[in-house]
A and B are shown apart, each in its own frame.
Chain A
Amino acid sequence: MRYQTVPAEPYDWPFDGALDSATTALICIDWQADFCGPGGYVDMMGYDLSLTRAGLEPTAAVLDAARARGFLVIHTREGHRPDLSDCPPNKLWRSRRIGAGIGDPGPCGRILVRGEPGWEIVPEVAPIDGEPIVDKPGKGAFYATDLDLLLRTHGITHLILTGITTDVCVHTTMREANDRGYECLLLTDCTGATDKGNYEAAVKMVTMQGGVFGAVAPSSALLTSLGAR
């Protein structure tokens, strides 16, 4: 099913006019308790959770619309093996130094460890049966995962991105996707960062040079194109 292009910055998305449920996937990045839940990794570092939680409600609305129209929905989770053998020593050292050590016990279980409560995706945007979940050890969802293979196998060429945090995992994944030729749209109200200024700059970076990493739009623009509002 084809839909109208989405009014976006710096160009109406997608550039080739092909907003098609057969070739477009919705990627929901790291909506885990560790990044937006009380007692998780981001909370333990002392950051304001309201900034990373702000995108939950609009993302839930986009998920509803995308699922109803048959778009592929893929979720990602950052986390490490329980023995931390896939956690680079510098990443481990830095996390301990700031008081949120990966693998250390916290209110949500062991921080950033697969299978722990903090690693789970929060209920507001939780995956439903049949939606692929990609587990990643790093910030980028393409590195050391099968995401690229999943997208190719489904014939996906266009990505709509939501998730947290904007300047870290979302931006890294958007950069990786763009390098691989995926046409990307970031939904500006469906993402957040631990710092508002860094969120704003991350959104702006996408739009430099005519859309160096793709385009950005509010979710309302996408929902209108999908006829969902």
Chain B
Amino acid sequence: MTTIPGTTPYPWPWHGRLDPARVALLAVACPDPTGPDQDVEALAARVRDRGGLIVSVRVRAPYRKTGLDVAAPPTHPHHVVRASGWDGFHGSDLDDVLRTAGRDLLLIAGCCLELGAHSTMRAANDRGYECLLVADACAAASEELRQAALSTIEMSGGIFGAVGSRTAVMEKL
């Protein structure tokens, strides 16, 4: 059994088989007023080094513009996918990229936690992917929304998956 230490509400992944060859890091890039995130870069370097797949998921505001530019974390991704909404699966080839590469364990990081990261995690979970939100590699609009976004994931036994920390992921990989 191999799981990431300290994940909530359950040891992730659920089946205890943390195989880097099945892992993909989804670096979600929303309109980001704070700019690129060094925490995501360090996490991506470790995941890549251990055989994980790095996918830069560029999401954007749908339909009505918010007036903010999209900033992508500089993660030298294996793949870049472009979604046509906040959900990285909507209008993109993300599902095909992950299936083709045999990746069903997803680490989710980026900005913003309650927007693109959350929508993408929700969509991934509905599709059967086993997701870990890397909380300290996600930026949120406010502390209040961060806490609620994490709590929502942890309710009902992990309704969208689990929550973990960047250091724990890097240590275990």
Tell me the A residues contacting B by CB distance below 8 Å.
15, 45, 88-91, 93-95, 97-98, 100, 137-140, 143-144, 167-168, 171-172, 175-176, 178-181, 183, 194-195, 197-198, 200-202, 204-205, 208-213
Within 8 A of A (CB), among B81-117: 83-87, 90-91, 114-115
CB atoms of B157 and A168 under 8 A apart: no
Minimum CB–CB distance from A192 to chain B (whole Å) comes to: 13
Residue of B61, B63, B87, B158 near A175 (CB, 8 A) is B87
Residue of A88, A210, A213 near B128 (CB, 8 A) is A88
CA distance A198 to B91 in the complex (A): 29
CB atoms of B128 and A212 under 8 A apart: no
Output the nearest chain A residue to B130 by Cβ-Cβ distance: A90
CB atoms of B152 and A168 under 8 A apart: yes
CB atoms of B157 and A95 under 8 A apart: yes
Which one of B20-28, B37-45, B69-77, B119-127 contacts A?
B119-127
Tell whether A175 pairs with B119 under 8 Å between CB atoms, given A94-B157, A168-B152. yes
Q: How many A-B residue pairs have CB under 8 A?
A: 130
CB atoms of A98 and B14 under 8 A apart: no
CA distance A191 to B172 in the complex (A): 40
Minimum CB–CB distance from B151 to chain A (whole Å) comes to: 5
Output the nearest chain B residue to A167 by Cβ-Cβ distance: B152
- Residues of B near A88 (CB, < 8 A) are 125, 127-128
Residue of A95, A181, A208 near B141 (CB, 8 A) is A208
Residue of B14, B62, B63, B160 near A93 (CB, 8 A) is B14
Size band of the B side of the interface?
Answer: 35 or more
- Residues of A near B159 (CB, < 8 A) are 94, 139, 168
Minimum CB–CB distance from B23 to chain A (whole Å) comes to: 15
CB atoms of B148 and A197 under 8 A apart: yes
CB atoms of A175 and B64 under 8 A apart: no
- Residues of A near B13 (CB, < 8 A) are 90
B149 interfacial by beta-carbon distance below 8 Å: yes
- Residues of B near A45 (CB, < 8 A) are 156-157
- Residues of B near A175 (CB, < 8 A) are 85-87, 118-119, 122
CB atoms of A140 and B122 under 8 A apart: yes
- Residues of A near B68 (CB, < 8 A) are 209
User: Which A-B residue pairs are the 4 nearest by beta carbons?
Assistant: A179-B85, A201-B148, A138-B126, A98-B157
